Structure 1
Amino acid sequence: MNLRTIFISSFLSLGSLGVLAQEQINLSGTWQFAFAANQKEADRLERFYTPDFAKSKFKSTPVPSNWALLGYEEPVYRGFKDNQAGEGFYVREFTIPQDWKDKRILLHFGGVWSSAEVWLNGNELGRHDCGYTSFAFDVTNKLKVDEPNKLAVRVRQITREYKFDVCDDWTWGGIYRDVTLEAMPAKRWIDDVVVQTTFDHLFQDANLDIRVMISDKHKNTLPGNYPSPGEPYKLCFTLTDKEGKEVAQRQMTVPAHVSTDREICLSLPVEAPHQWTAETPYLYSLKVELLEKEAVTHTRMERVGFRQISTDGGVFRINGQAVKLRGVNRHDEHPDVGRATTRKQWLEDLTLMKAANINYLRLSHYTPAEGFIELCDSMGMYVGNEVTLGGAGNLMYDPSFSGAVLQRSYETIVRDINKPSIIYWSIGNEDPLTSLHMVSVKLVKALDPTRPVLLPWRPEEWLPKEVDILAPHYWNPQEYDRLAGHSGRPVISTEYTHAYGNDAFGGLEARWKALTKHPAGAGAAVWMWADQGVKTPVRKKEKDLSEDEYLRINTAGWDGIVDSYRNFTRDYWETKAVYAPVYPVVDKISFVPGQDSVRIPIQNDFDFTNLSSVKMAWSVREDENVLYSGTDSMYGYPHTVSDFKLPVEKLVTVRPGKTYYVWFVFTDEKGTEITRRAVELCPQTEQPVSVPVCRELLVTETDKVTIDAGDIRYVFSPKNGQLVSAELKGKQLIKDLYPAIWRKLNQGETSGFGKENLRKAVDLTHYTSSVTAWKVEKTPTNAVIRTTVDYRVDQENHFTVTYRYSIGVDGRLNVYYQILTKVAVPWLPIVGMSMQSVSGLDQVHWLGLGPYDAYPNKQTAPILGVWGGTAGSPDVTGIKAMRWMERAGAEGTIHVSNSGYMENDAMCPERTYILSGVFGRPEKGRRAEESVPQLRTDTGKPFVGEFSIMLKAVR
């Protein structure tokens, strides 16, 4: 039985298919539907397929669809409690053309979750138990030509093996992909076409190897078991390029074979074909025609990409070239349509993915709609397609489920075996290796020896030789480094960084570089592409992560680098930056003012694209000012470094206190931005020593210590050891400055700390303070306050801060602090000081990394520059890596110099945290590796930081 739906909409643009489109009828559209919430209701509908069954309970419903999204049933995540779920009953009447009377006809289902029992005109066709694979029934001689036909489908969600199709995702019942009828000749037809492309050793010329299964049902005309001589026939093979020009053609005569099928094998040599890769997704069209008595009786079309995969020597290669797979995981779903996705959703996903430098998709944890993979073929995306076994659990130890394993393996492979975008087959998900897994592996290898196979989560080097690729999950960089450094098989980490929430996703760049710096490190996939949200017409009963009262997002599925509706999150930009195939190798470079140029190395990590196709716009900057700019292109082979000669002769004079850097913006041939990066230009010159302006420095001792330096006044309290006011020309700009080691944890920090540790945590922002040391010193050039303060939360949680405040005659306040903690929670989210400014200073600017948040292990997307916005706005709130920042308003400007971080509080726009340390971004339940700042409280060592404050008049 041919399980492949062969005439698809994307083929209809080819002129040769215009007539053949009549050979298929799409039954999608409006069906009659009844929902049974329980077994009692289902029993009442049991005879729904019979002609005289009353339809009073049936309502019109769209097919494809999932009934939970239509409001019939509350969506369920990860399977049903106590294996109790509703059922759906579908009825559709249709007619067929008169000339189909003598045809062989197949009824195709693209996907039904999870079990379909099918009747046609009251006759039972059969049952299919697998929620994600396509299937078909032969309905020849079961259709009526002169009157309507009644198709009835009972869809169950609970079967003995339904857990095979339950994964880390929503569980939705329904006929959610197209239902079609396909007609072909009844006596002899082309049942199947399988293609394989093989290059010569130079990867220049290639052979297109074709296997065609011709079916024959002519009756024997001789008595007994002697075969009839029958009639020979011809096969014509025509390969055309993208423009429709004929590339190769072959016609052959095949001797008759009566009442039996025959596989015909043919090899078409092709000189220097365009090679299919994700960077160059060139597709040819193969037309196979069956001719009887010189007339074409049947035709099939296949799209062909000349692409060859190998894993020899432990290196994953496509067309002889080692490739790096920059990947994400994807569920085939959208909140508005569930799993009944269409070209609109597929195109949106692939367009946004390619814009983020993603070139590889792991299809988790099931095969998607066929049209999606065909779009990957045409747009250029490497695909790892997956056999849905991952939800089976202990069922994989039960040999009675071998049929379920073999069926899923077979149906997954045969539908998509010709798709060039599929570069490996994946068996299950995060499973132990069992005998049934090996049965699947061996069947897949037998059906398709051209592609490698992997088992997601299994990295063991003792795995059977049939497993071509090692696939660890969520290792730290050191572990990836060790494995890829000596592995004899390619390593593809099918899940390696978890984009949980919007405040985690730490360590992506470190893992990516540790893995892919080795030849065996072929690539990895982020978990996951989009938040798993679903919208129904029924208001949700319980609050969840979505503010929309109709949109459900389970915490287990809040893990996309885009949200459910494909709006970008911070993690999308980090992914785009880490995966950028073109970038400067260095982040800073030295120069001598007056020299002509500096050479900046540019890495080309494309696998097949020369740098000559990349445009590079650059601009040399001094803080926020662009000094000069230009646009260039370079020549550089894939996987090489080329030097760009940046002119710097205009940087003759550099000003003290200014930062010089060059911005690079790389774009492809279509003008789409690949990435942007900054390289700091570090002048090698003796900087003149700044001599403070000699102004009066007055220290007044009362119950408050007041220090005047010209127009600037600082007020300190001996009672709490803190700065309590800072004024410029008599106008207060700063209201308070106090230690900050705690604030409300965001979702990422909560995940990183863990539930057990959070039970120990207390609010470290509420405390009593007592000064244990206080000393004021004055010299001709500055005033110094040294003080130690004990901050006590309760008997078990307290911390001590030692301050050194130094005020120069120029009015600059230098703050040095040491914070020694004794608290129950083993980590802190932040360490530094909290500065409370007066209202009105709402314009915030900073020199540092921006515009996105930056953390110790998540700072590839933000780049060096001057950034800003209004206090409390999304542009400013969050963690920012800074060198200096300013808060400005009508009363003046606060300028803070700090080689660390700042965080502006969205709930209190006047508050800015000036930080020396930030908790490294975790993933879901996994903290950052130990090389990343952990802000541990049990080391016995104090946290240390320093920064300076200067009050300035309005510019």
Structure 2
Amino acid sequence: MNTLNFNHKLTAAFVFLLWIQVGQAQGQSRQSPFPENMIQNTIQNSTKNSRSNGLKKVGIGGQSIISLNGNWEFKQGNKRSDIAVPGEWAMQGFEVSAGEIVTYIKKINIPADWQGKRVKIRFDGLSSHAVLRINQQKIAEHEGSFVPFEADLSNQLKPGENILEVEVSALTISDILACTSQYAAHTVGGILRNVTLLALPEMNIADLRIETDFDPKYKNALLKINAKVVNEAAAPLDGIFSLRYTLADQKGKTVLQKKITLNALAPGKDLISKQEFKVLQPQHWNSDIPYLYRLHTELLQDGKTIQKNQQRVGFREIAIRGNELLVNGKAVKLRGVNRHSVHPLTGRSISKDLEYQDAKLFMEANCNFIRTSHYPPSEEFLEACDELGLFVENESSLTWINHHASPIWKTWDYKDEKFLSVMMNANLEKMQAAINHPSVIIWSLGNESNWSPLWQKVQDAVKVFDPSRPTAFHDQCWGGFNNLGSKADIANYHYPAANGPAATDTMSRPTLFGEYAHLSTYNRRELLTDPGVRTAYQLPLVSMYDSVYQHKGNLGAAIWSGIDDTFHLPDGRIVGYGPWGALDGWRRPKPEYWGMRKAYAPIQVKNPESPKIKNGNLILSIENRYDFISLNQVEIEALVDGKRVQVNGDLAPRSQGEIKIPVQKNTKEVYISFTAPRGFVLNEERILIEKNKFRIL
């Protein structure tokens, strides 16, 4: 299958990283159109002695991982205080000015059984520039926010207590190009996400790439696994090393187990083991039934496990055909919302429980798509989306480049090559961290920016890094001020008029309305005097999304926005861009949330105000907007004057038909609801009957 031609089927759900590095590889390597090491060097240009890594290591016996979350010492000038990690410093009462460097300090004791292992530290996200020191020796440096990076501490550690220092500054170049702090109306700085210490054997699995590739009938699949193994020992290691892969279904039953003997590996060298395994009739992963397998990967030395990793795997494949996006061979329609990582009291640093709650609340509002505006999400959020069946557009931390909203571009040249490494790094590190998640179906290069030759270079690198997913770029694909010829795979338009969906049918690419249906936010006086504005939001939204659904070229749309972006600073000020969410910051649904659920319901009752009564049945016209499941997989409950009646229905995905509900001549009320296979109510209607006239509540 041709992975580079988007007129043909793309191979696989989450393709392996194209390794453009010096080192040995098992099997033939793919050729890159870029100079040798270009991509890896681009990352390292702003991540000195650190590296991005998406591999989740699982310790043997639970002893190889230590969380460093909790209280740290915070040094600002001559003042020392305690600070919570993860967390924004501003949300904890610390004011740090531009150019100022503050230091996070943590005493760490290395367990005795870690002796002889490689000790790494992993930061899941930090804003925006960091210098790492251990025992006053500089270890690594990293520029960029909301992306994981790790560094090796081994050579500088000593027995007993060690002092870890992280020097952090905000408002650096990556913050400016992302408008991170400008957008949040306060300085977003600090260690925002988890910090972890981990110990690895000297021979270890450094990275893992997983790809699934279906046959033309989408019946059987290949599981492709690419493991990067490194020898970080100073001297040759004894023994025979091998990899063992075990794929298990949701009940824990082994579907596949294979053992691969590795070639000998000299100290300081690495290899890539590329394997393909046939899996017969795997369950598909999609937004309606997100079936996940679990892949256990073990590194063995003379048959004994010395490292293991576990990774959830979803069998799914993405393709673009004309102006449609296909998942597992079927065109999909995205019912979406934009989502910020935010809480009023903790800002851009939120808990694992809240990450899951957000995904669940949007699923229950009938969303099947999240755009992660305007930076990459956490690992925990992506895991929730994998589990709950939410498609994700993973966006890089780049926004408003040469946009009037960012005043810096009045003096800076947005085509200046000096910005390329930061733009490249923001994309590639994000991808490396998230590439194995089946929920991620689109890579967004950046938000509301002017296309330039720099973006074209980023686009080219992204397509080499992962040819299996399409790219998006949030400009205006027609008639907009920043419509400068984006070459992303998916066209974008923000805030289309009512005729916008029809215009997409003339596009050669799928067209996504990356932002639309903005909630009422800035008309504060009207909201205070007429709260019905919030309830009325449903009416035009239903009409607009009906049009989105009807037009083939319209991939879907994402409401602006999902959650209020407001920050309650400790000094009493409330800042942020606005209370524009269908959920408030405390995750309480607003009236617009229920309007979103109604508009996005995949089972629609088309005639609740004008049904027919014939031969003792109330006849409702039903539309099944699911992409993958039939109506007979949905639980239907019907009550006639409060008494349950039997109702059957079976409609294929993307089809229309009728449901008949037995009624009496004197029936006064009919209630019908539709419940998803995952147990939440999709849609419901209450119809009052008065003298053969109908009214809905």
TM-score normalised by L of structure 2: 0.83
Change beyond 3 A, Cα 1:682–1:202: farther
Aligned pairs (5 A) from 1:644-663? 644-651=659-666, 662-663=670-671
1:508 maps onto 2:541 in alignment: yes
1:101 is aligned, of 99, 115, 118, to 115
8 Å contact 1:615–1:631 — kept in the other structure? no
Q: Which secondary structure state, in structure 2, belongs to the residue aligned with residue 455 of structure 1? A: strand
Find the aligned partners of 2:239 and 2:452 in 1 and give their Cα distance: 49
Find the aligned partners of 2:100 and 2:449 in 1 and give their Cα distance: 29
2:211 is aligned, of 177, 193, 196, to 196
The equivalent residue for 1:177 is: 193
The equivalent residue for 2:590 is: 569
1:213 maps onto 2:228 in alignment: yes
Change beyond 3 A, Cα 1:684–1:148: closer
Aligned AA for 1:179?
Answer: V
1:616 maps onto 2:636 in alignment: yes
8 Å contact 2:72–2:85 — kept in the other structure? yes
1:3 maps onto 2:52 in alignment: yes
Aligned AA for 1:143?
Answer: L
8 Å contact 2:248–2:255 — kept in the other structure? yes
The equivalent residue for 1:581 is: 602
Find the aligned partners of 2:486 and 2:256 in 1 and give their Cα distance: 37
8 Å contact 2:645–2:661 — kept in the other structure? no
Q: Which secondary structure state, in structure 2, belongs to the residue aligned with residue 574 of structure 1? A: helix
Q: What's the CA shift string for 1:786-828, capped at 9, x where partnerless? A: xxxxxxxxxxxxxxxxxxxxxxxxxxxxxxxxxxxxxxxxxxx
More strand by share: 1
8 Å contact 2:131–2:141 — kept in the other structure? yes
Aligned AA for 2:439?
Answer: S
Change beyond 3 A, Cα 1:141–1:616: same
Q: Which has the higher relative contact order, 1 or 2, with Cα contacts under 8 A spaced 6 or more apart?
A: 2
Aligned pairs (5 A) from 1:582-601? 582-589=603-610, 591=612, 595-601=615-621
Q: What's the CA shift string for 1:583-608, capped at 9, x where partnerless? A: 2222443657x843353221111112
Aligned AA for 2:172?
Answer: T
Find the aligned partners of 2:561 and 2:541 in 1 and give their Cα distance: 13
2:274 is aligned, of 241, 246, 265, to 265
Q: What's the CA shift string for 1:879-929, capped at 9, x where partnerless? A: xxxxxxxxxxxxxxxxxxxxxxxxxxxxxxxxxxxxxxxxxxxxxxxxxxx
Q: What's the CA shift string for 1:76-119, capped at 9, x where partnerless? A: xxxxxxx8475432111011112222112221111111111221
Find the aligned partners of 1:311 and 1:465 in 2 and give their Cα distance: 17
Q: Which secondary structure state, in structure 2, belongs to the residue aligned with residue 192 of structure 1? A: strand
Aligned pairs (5 A) from 1:722-761? none
Q: Which secondary structure state, in structure 1, belongs to the residue aligned with residue 494 of structure 2? A: coil
8 Å contact 1:95–1:148 — kept in the other structure? yes
Cα deviation, residue 130, structure 1? 0.7
Find the aligned partners of 1:270 and 1:627 in 2 and give their Cα distance: 49
8 Å contact 1:527–1:560 — kept in the other structure? yes
The equivalent residue for 1:693 is: none
Q: Percent identity?
A: 30
Change beyond 3 A, Cα 1:141–1:86: closer
Change beyond 3 A, Cα 1:313–1:138: same
Aligned AA for 1:22?
Answer: Q
Rg larger in structure: 1
Change beyond 3 A, Cα 1:507–1:101: same
Aligned AA for 2:146?
Answer: Y
Q: Which secondary structure state, in structure 2, belongs to the residue aligned with residue 641 of structure 1? A: strand
8 Å contact 1:215–1:262 — kept in the other structure? yes
Aligned pairs (5 A) from 1:821-860? none
Q: Which secondary structure state, in structure 1, belongs to the residue aligned with residue 610 of structure 2? A: strand
Aligned pairs (5 A) from 1:229-628? 233-258=241-266, 259-393=268-402, 394=409, 396-460=414-478, 467-483=488-504, 485-501=505-521, 503=533, 505=537, 507-540=540-573, 552-554=574-576, 556-589=577-610, 591=612, 595-619=615-639, 626=641
8 Å contact 2:560–2:581 — kept in the other structure? yes
Aligned AA for 2:175?
Answer: Y
Cα deviation, residue 499, structure 1? 1.2
Q: Which secondary structure state, in structure 1, belongs to the residue aligned with residue 627 of structure 2? A: coil
Cα deviation, residue 644, structure 1? 1.1
The equivalent residue for 2:135 is: 121
Find the aligned partners of 1:639 and 1:532 in 2 and give their Cα distance: 35
Change beyond 3 A, Cα 1:681–1:336: same
8 Å contact 2:298–2:308 — kept in the other structure? yes
Change beyond 3 A, Cα 1:595–1:238: closer
Cα deviation, residue 327, structure 1? 0.8
Cα deviation, residue 457, structure 1? 2.8
8 Å contact 1:470–1:489 — kept in the other structure? yes
Aligned AA for 2:367?
Answer: I
Change beyond 3 A, Cα 1:628–1:370: closer
1:154 is aligned, of 150, 167, 171, to 167
Aligned AA for 1:112?
Answer: L
Change beyond 3 A, Cα 1:86–1:532: farther
Find the aligned partners of 2:256 and 2:448 in 1 and give their Cα distance: 45
Change beyond 3 A, Cα 1:85–1:568: farther
Find the aligned partners of 1:416 and 1:98 in 2 and give their Cα distance: 33
Aligned AA for 1:118?
Answer: L
Cα deviation, residue 248, structure 1? 0.7
8 Å contact 1:310–1:318 — kept in the other structure? yes
Q: What's the CA shift string for 1:442-472, capped at 9, x where partnerless? A: 1111111111101013425998795211111
Q: Which secondary structure state, in structure 2, belongs to the residue aligned with residue 488 of structure 1? A: coil
Aligned AA for 2:197?
Answer: L
Aligned AA for 2:256?
Answer: A
Segments of 5+ residues of structure 2 without an aligned counterpart are 1-49, 403-408, 522-526, 528-532
Cα deviation, residue 614, structure 1? 2.1
Find the aligned partners of 1:510 and 1:608 in 2 and give their Cα distance: 23
Find the aligned partners of 2:223 and 2:593 in 1 and give their Cα distance: 39
Find the aligned partners of 1:428 and 1:619 in 2 and give their Cα distance: 49
8 Å contact 2:54–2:434 — kept in the other structure? no
Aligned AA for 1:512?
Answer: Y
The equivalent residue for 1:740 is: none
Aligned pairs (5 A) from 1:887-906? none
Aligned length: 619
The equivalent residue for 1:642 is: 657
Aligned AA for 2:62?
Answer: A
Change beyond 3 A, Cα 1:160–1:339: closer
Q: Which secondary structure state, in structure 1, belongs to the residue aligned with residue 168 of structure 2? A: strand
Aligned AA for 1:111?
Answer: G
Cα deviation, residue 577, structure 1? 0.4
Aligned AA for 2:176?
Answer: K
Q: What's the CA shift string for 1:201-231, capped at 9, x where partnerless? A: 111111111111111345688xxxxxx9x96
Aligned AA for 1:672?
Answer: F
Find the aligned partners of 1:684 and 1:235 in 2 and give their Cα distance: 71
RMSD of aligned C-alpha atoms? Answer: 2.7
Find the aligned partners of 1:324 and 1:489 in 2 and give their Cα distance: 14
Q: Which secondary structure state, in structure 1, belongs to the residue aligned with residue 499 of structure 2? A: helix
Q: Which secondary structure state, in structure 2, belongs to the residue aligned with residue 539 of structure 1? A: coil
Change beyond 3 A, Cα 1:94–1:18: closer
Segments of 5+ residues of structure 1 without an aligned counterpart are 9-16, 36-43, 46-56, 75-82, 222-227, 541-551, 621-625, 653-659, 686-846, 849-863, 866-955
More helix by share: 2
Change beyond 3 A, Cα 1:665–1:22: same
Find the aligned partners of 1:257 and 1:103 in 2 and give their Cα distance: 17
Find the aligned partners of 1:85 and 1:348 in 2 and give their Cα distance: 36
Cα deviation, residue 378, structure 1? 1.5
8 Å contact 2:612–2:620 — kept in the other structure? no
8 Å contact 1:500–1:560 — kept in the other structure? no
Aligned AA for 1:3?
Answer: S
Aligned AA for 1:254?
Answer: L
